[in-house]
Chain A
Amino acid sequence: MKLTQKDLLGIKDLSVEEINLILDTAESFIEVSTREIKKVPTLRGKTVINLFLEASTRTRTSFEIAGKRLSADTINISSSTSSIVKGETLIDTAKNLEAMNPDIIVIRHSAAGAPHILAKTVKQSVINAGDGAHEHPTQALLDLMTIRSKKGQIAGLQVAICGDIAHSRVARSNIYALTKMGASVTVAGPATMMPRYIEQMGVKACCKLEDAIVDADIIMMLRIQLERQTEHIFPSLREYSTYFGLNRKNITLAKDDVLIMHPGPVNRGIELAPDIADAPFSIILDQVTNGVAVRMALLYLLTGGN
């Protein structure tokens, strides 16, 4: 089986079979990163451009390492080094990159739908590395991979996603991904962080952290964006961390074998108590490790691998 689409723009468009293909392929790539010489020639002669027009450490590094371990030539463009700051439009930037004939363009952008513009403009494959509050498909895929490897399967699990759902692309992609794979998803956050009609996405919504994490197999905490305080979506950090922070006390409501996830970067002491972030049941760093494998799999599959 192959991935038939040109681009990976979101989880919404993926079938269960395609998701399984990506996860299986990713698992086969895990081993590469554990070798002494962490490189295979699979994508030799292929060029991957990482067009990161919004700040990112984890995702950008992960894509770069993924490309390099597959022997692709990877080029990183960030907003400060791109022509965007000189006033060039995204479409012109895209056409110029296209003219240099890369094989894959990975884009991170603060505006929802930016990867879709890019995908319509260029003939190369486009991977969405996060667009505004819309989707972050590679994050959801690495989350699925991590859950599957820890729990054996995804179907039937109770997953709580907690925090600023409205502004979170991680939440949206994970809602699509987890519900497609048969998990039950509950989202939690104050009403100010809950988009209207979120339940139409097939999840349960609640306004108390405790209600969401009762009997949870997985708790996914989202980063609170501190700059959002000016939008009045939470009164103060003190109040938020008191009532929406995960800590030793409220975590006892979850299943005994609960696992804690976070897409990073973590605000220690705000959405996650420090000892929870570092606890043995925290799989935050496994997520990061698997991220490289998932991105290797996507680079491989989108360049025609089978």
Chain B
Amino acid sequence: MKLLLKAGRVIDPSQNIDALMDIAIQDAKIVQIGPNLSEGQTNGRKGPSSKTKTIDLTGRVVVPGLIDMHTHLREPGFEYKETIETGSLAAAAGGFTSIACMPNTQPVNDNRSITEFIKRKAALAGRVHVYPIAAITIESAGRSLTDFRDLQDAGAIGFSDDGKSVLNSALMRRALEYASSIDMPVICHCEDPQLSAGGSMNEGFVSTELGLAPIPAMAEDVMTARDIIIAEYTRTAVHIAHVSTAGSVEFIRSAKKRGVKVTAETAPHYFTLTDDSLRDFNTFYKVNPPLRTKEDLEAVKEGLRDGTVDVIASDHAPHAVTDKDVEFEFAASGMIGLETSLALSLKLVDDGILTLPQLIQKMSFNPAKILKIPKGTLQVGVDADVTVIDREKIWTVDCHQFRSRSRNSPFHGRRMKGKAVMTIMGGEITYDESQNNA
């Protein structure tokens, strides 16, 4: 099977490409990239069975397959919220060819068998490359390290106790040191649980009015600062997950200036929504870290603009109706994002915060670099993971059309501009908007 992607605007930050080009794909690899390729040119190899499918992508943007480095697939343990299969379908529909999934399943992904299980189920679904992130500590309980090398051998690509911080600072130090010695990233959910105890929204004027127990921005900031301090001291790399506060952005910015090997991600809701959305107690807006203030939102945008924040990741967190249709303080935290992340992020381009190549870098090349996976590029020879974007497509979010098993998106009903219209993973079309006249 050969594919020839014709006449799209190809953007590949890894090669500084932003031009009208064609891409030839054969045997699941990119074999050629350049202007005006013809069907016969695909690498000169012409087998008898080789039939080339040409796709005209005039007016489309063609980018390295998007990568979401922060998702929750819920399997094993919470299959009623999401499965690896439904999450994979959602990822492909959202334009993603690779996703990393967090270990807070039941049981926690803290051992080889769970990691292998996830890889096996993902291969079976076959819609997206799934990269398991294993727990830093056994059961993510913060007491003792998991078998990092064994998990690495089993296919884990990083470590995180996502959902909580490793509170024991000495243990966190050892985790960063040990992970760096095997060249594996550590991803930190930054939250001081005493400062956030009992809280269900950001501490600010809105929480003052609503009387909901507040989570101060500093609950995130003190842990961001601590993890940076540990990384700086041990000269190791650390990745800060879902940055939501102005304070954390500033800690990361100044650390980067000092040369600390810190990277950071934020999620679309932190540059799209504020705590003002909570006023009617709609639990779909409950997320952790919580939606912050306008000032935080602006700081996150500025962090994206000036490069402090390297990555946009969805923090796709599926929850069933039963988890959400309860009193606000009892509701589960999290929102799904795989199928809305790209459109919300494209708004940053429309608003002049990022150029389109910068955005693509934050959604493909940068996460690949942090996770140390051979993705996020259209270089000849790599797996043919490609996302095709229609920048102008106007569409309305309809949670009933989601591939995800869950519906907990506060963006239901929102008009969006821009959408992934074709997703190609390893040369196979995993999503095609034209086959899906929803």
A residues engaging B (CB < 8 A)?
Answer: 12, 89-91, 109, 111-114, 116-117, 131-135, 167, 169, 172, 195-198, 200-201
Contacts and interface: CB of A to CB of B under 8 A. Distances in A.
A197 B281 contact: no
18 contacts: A89-B322, A89-B326, A90-B327, A109-B327, A111-B328, A113-B212, A113-B281, A116-B280, A116-B281, A131-B211, A133-B211, A133-B213, A134-B212, A167-B211, A169-B211, A172-B211, A196-B208, A201-B209
Given A89-B326, A109-B327, A117-B327, A132 B212 contact: yes
Nearest to A165: B208
A88 to B, nearest CB: 11
Contact of A132 (B205, B322, B325, B329): B329
A195 B208 contact: yes
B208 A135 contact: no
A89 B331 CA distance: 11
Contacts of B281: 112-113, 116-117
A172 B327 contact: no
Nearest to B197: A231
A89 B325 CA distance: 8
Contacts of B214: 195-196
A200 B211 contact: no
B245 interface: no
Nearest 10 Cβ contacts at the A-B interface: A113-B281, A133-B211, A134-B211, A111-B327, A197-B205, A195-B208, A113-B328, A112-B211, A116-B281, A111-B329
Given A117-B281, A196-B203, A112 B208 contact: no
Contacts of A12: 209
Contacts of A90: 326-327
A116 B329 CA distance: 13
B430 interface: no
B210 A113 contact: yes
A196 B204 contact: yes
B80 interface: no
Interface string B205-227: 10111111110000000000000
Residue picked from B207, B212, B213, B328, most chain A C-beta under 10 Å: B328
Interface in B182-214: 203-205, 207-214
B204 A132 contact: no
B330 interface: yes
Contacts of A117: 281, 326-327
A84 B423 CA distance: 46
Contact of B208 (A89, A111, A132, A197): A197
Contacts of B326: 89-91, 117
A260 to B, nearest CB: 25
A135 B327 contact: no
Contact of A197 (B204, B213, B327, B328): B204
Residue picked from B212, B213, B281, B330, most chain A C-beta under 10 Å: B281
Contacts of A132: 211-212, 329
A112 B210 contact: yes
Contacts of A111: 327-330
B209 A172 contact: yes
Contacts of A197: 204-205, 208
A200 B327 contact: no
A135 B208 CA distance: 11
Contacts of A133: 211-213
Residue picked from A90, A109, A112, A114, most chain B C-beta under 10 Å: A112
Contacts of B210: 112-113, 134
Residue picked from A12, A111, A134, most chain B C-beta under 10 Å: A111
